Structure 1
């Protein structure tokens, strides 16, 4: 269930002082606080910081205002908390965000403006990390855990971020290939209708719509159950309730109900869901939009029957029919499943590389 109140501690000064036991050591007039989502200057500044972080890390920026609002809006704060470091003029110079993602897994966004003196950049980084550690203890305690994982990401070429994370006790645990595949208009006929088609005893279809145009809850639960079952043995998998799953995916700025597909075996008396794909739209301000594979999962018992390939063909055909020019996805470079081989065989190529860095935090601090 989604909690009515956040599991995080809302006072950043309290969190940081609890961890550091002293003043954070920022310059005179600099303050630690929270961003105001109703303040257009705060939102614009956070968007600028996020885009600059992306440009330095991978060469170009893709984020926009909607991506910031996912983190800082009142709706998002049911599962998130934010902190900012402001200079003496009130300008935001660093931003941290934590997300109570699922049991035992807390995501952490960590952005420090570039161009500050080295020691001040590092001091801002330390403030963000110590705040995140304190929040990990708070959310872990609220979930009744002994240890809470902090899961943060970095671009593969961002050496400054790597140094800070390693110095703060994080370990690099995984590499991810961010892949993209071009889509051509003729691929609209790659399947029958991408809304519903069949091949080799497997039906590929959109989730059904109920009254008022909303998706059928039973279908949504099938998607959740398939994905939970498909990823149970995958890297860093953790239990996520249906309510948490639905709440989180609906926050994505690219969320669309008509990008959710089920794959069903039709050999028995009733169709058996064995695969699911959740897609989103990747909007572009300078050209055609793209589609993105947020989740693709196939139950182990149905692997080897072309289910994953069929779902990928479905989103390609759908993208082509919508006039889009690409489909993106993320793949675990260290996965033993061979998924990367399927993607490359179907035309996907790595566009850039990211990493996962983890730190396990004891929920009850050790005695001094």
Structure 2
């Protein structure tokens, strides 16, 4: 399957909500329901402000940027996404919802309501966003031929208002995630001989191959090996849904921090000399407007048959060394607090500490 040229979502809010005039929605007189304009710098700035305020309230600081918003609302992003905004009588966006056709059976949902709204009005906004997301879940589930479509959304662990919105909307808290960070110093550059390629005990750790200059595309066979390793490594993990190779690449390239020179493979080198991919790490850049940038472990997977051979530790040492050589001051990652693999113990032993905690909330929607 390839990425569809047309979105599976309904672009007109009335297709999933019905009439969207003030009386039907329960919103105050003059409020409107519609879509944001990605070409309007005021809309993009307002969405960025809402998202940053949401983060600041939930965890104490904001990290979202204009680029993060454009991933959701730009023309490229809308191939797999749809958005809804609620505007007050002056045209100011006061609430925002975004849905993402993430993989077959799994739809992500961004739910942001302005913090300064009175509780009763905020509840009305939340109800509309949830109702719209449920309608969109039916649309995308129907297009994919599913009987049930999952909506997957998240919340910061300390955000009681968001918890209330989601519980009232029929969502259930299903998982907890530790967002961890490890400081990086100049000495860490020597953790491995070279972050481009090194070998230890019959395992080679290397960047995905690229033929040509710095802007060249990676070798497609290497990219497929990364995808295959990650799909196999996570097949039994919580809420794992199969994602096609095309979906995988399209989604990761949308990340503002995406860099091809942050993708690594780990390969076993048997005596015959034929390599066998057994691990993969996809990293990204975390840009900072006020200080050094950081690196982030977006994906780390090791095939079950190769676990216990130091593959995960070797890949982590590689991205730490790479970050140090680039002058970065940290490497971040996310770990399932209930992971059966004991990954949290490995991260802690290598210097990672939890900075904040997030939660997954799910709702299963029957598809008509």
Q: Do they fold alike, i.e. is TM over 0.5? A: yes
1:351 and 2:355 matched:
yes
- How has the CA–CA distance of structure 1 residues 18 and 268 changed in structure 2, closer, same or farther, with 3 Å as cutoff? farther
Corresponding residue for residue 190 of structure 1: 191
Q: Are residue 76 (structure 1) and residue 80 (structure 2) matched?
A: no
Q: Does structure 1 residue 336 correspond to structure 2 residue 340?
A: yes
1:332-353 deviation line (CA, Å, top 9, x unaligned): 0011110000000000000000
Alignment match, 1:12: 13
Quote the RMSD (CA, aligned, Å): 1.3
Find the aligned partners of 1:150 and 1:16 in 2 and give their Cα distance: 17
> Which residues of 2 match residues 121-270 of structure 1 at below 5 A?
121-211=122-212, 213-269=216-272, 270=274
Structure 1 partner of 2:323: 319
Q: 1:73-94 CA deviation, whole Å, 9 max, x = no partner? A: 0000000000000001100000
Is it true that 1:272 corresponds to 2:276 in the alignment?
Answer: yes
Contact 1:136 1:150 in 2 (8 A): yes
Partner Cα separation in structure 1 for residue 118 and residue 178 of structure 2: 32
Q: Secondary structure at the match of 1:23?
A: helix
What are the Cα deviations for residues 2-39 of structure 1, in whole angstroms up to 9, with x where unaligned? 011000000012211289xx811111110100000000
Could you tell me which runs of 5 or more consecutive residues in structure 1 were left unpaired when the two chains were aligned.
none
Alignment deviations for residues 349-368 of structure 1 (CA, whole Å, 9 cap, x no partner): 0000000000000011xxxx
Residue matched to 1:26? 27
- The CA distance in 2 between the partners of 1:98 and 1:129, in whole Å, is 10
Aligned twin of 1:290? 294
**Cα distance, 1:99 vs structure 2:** 0.2
Structure 1 95/262 Cα, relative in aligned 2: closer, same or farther at 3 Å? same
> Residues 240-297 of structure 1: CA distance to partner in whole angstroms, max 9, x if unpaired?
0000000000000000000000000001431000000000000011110000000000
CA distance in structure 2 between the partners assigned to 1:23 and 1:225 by the alignment: 48
CA distance in structure 2 between the partners assigned to 1:259 and 1:316 by the alignment: 11
Measured in 1, the distance between the counterparts of 2:145 and 2:324 equals 47
Q: Distance in 2 between matches of 1:290 and 1:268?
A: 38
Find the aligned partners of 1:94 and 1:13 in 2 and give their Cα distance: 17
**Number of equivalent positions:** 363
What SS class does the counterpart of residue 53 from structure 1 fall into? helix
**Hey, what's the Cα distance between the residues in 2 that align with 1:189 and 1:33?**
53
Question: What's the secondary structure of 2:25's corresponding residue?
Answer: coil
Distance (Å, rounded) in 2 between the aligned partners of 1:268 and 1:77: 48
Instruction: Indicate conservation of the 8 Å contact 1:99/1:106, yes or no.
Output: yes
Q: Distance in 2 between the 1:178 and 1:92 partners?
A: 30
5+ residue gaps, structure 2, are: none
Whole-Å separation in 1 of the counterparts to 2:251 and 2:288: 22
Q: For 1:175, what is the secondary structure of its paired residue?
A: strand
Deviations 1:280-315 (A, max 9, x none): 000011110000000000000000000000000000
Q: Contact 1:13 / 1:33 at 8 angstroms: preserved in 2?
A: no
Partner secondary structure for residue 173 of structure 1: strand
SS across alignment from 2:130: helix
Q: For 1:59-74, what aligned pairs fall within 5 Å after superposition? A: 59-74=60-75
SS of 1:7's equivalent in the other structure is coil
The counterpart of 1:299, out of the listed 297, 303, 308, is 303
